[in-house]
Amino acid sequence: MNKNDILAGLKEIITPYTEEKTALEHITEDTDFITDLKINSANLVDIVLDIEEKFDIAIDNDSMAKMLNVKATLEIIAQKQAENAG
């Protein structure tokens, strides 16, 4: 999966958890889940669980701690997928 595919998948996951439709439409690596998309922190847990299901990966606690923005999240998904493949 390339980065654009992962980003498209991530955008689909995030959609039900944000009211900030303009920020979502213009999502980039720099988009922050809390400050830009105003996602409730309780829903960050849902996003992590959705990512685990969709990408068939397990996200450990240290990785989850970093998942506050798109950039860190894309890196963690790619890293976990690589670990699965290896």
Q: Which residues bind other proteins (CB under 8 A)?
A: 40-46, 48-49, 52, 61-62, 64-68
CB of 19 to other proteins, least distance (A): 11
Closer to other proteins by Cβ: residue 4 or 42? 42
CB of 40 to other proteins, least distance (A): 6
Find the angle CA(35)-CA(73)-CA(36) to the nearest 5 degrees. 15
Query: Contact 80/39 with Cβ under 8 angstroms?
Result: no
Query: Contact 67/48 with Cβ under 8 angstroms?
Result: yes
CB of 2 to other proteins, least distance (A): 26
Say which amino acid occupies 54: K
